[in-house]
Amino acid sequence: MGQVICKCFAISYDWQLQELNDRFDEVNTDLLHGIASCLNPINSFSSFDIRKVMRMAELYPDDFDESNMSILENELASYIVDVK
């Protein structure tokens, strides 16, 4: 019985992953992954990673020029000190 449940779960999981891959391109997948992995407020943002947030900002070159990227990096460093 347990094997059947595991196989059904694996099939369902594979199907859902395929649906996500069909709907989202690599850039959107990177953005979603970044949001989920580095902006999680659980444990006082313990998984916060400035590099990942900066990578997400790089996905929006029209909104973040080189100067803005430098400012953002400094602001993020201050932010995480404040929230932790």
Mean pLDDT, the chain, as a whole number? 82
Q: Is the pLDDT of residue 75 over 70?
A: yes
Of 32 and 64, more confident: 64
First to last CA, the chain: 45
Report yes or no: 20 and 13 within 8 Å, Cβ to Cβ.
Answer: no
What pLDDT score does 33 carry? 78
pLDDT digits (tens, 9 = 90+) for 41-72: 776 677 788 888 898 888 889 999 999 999 99
Output the pTM of the full model: 0.58
Rounded CA separation 77/3 (Å) = 47
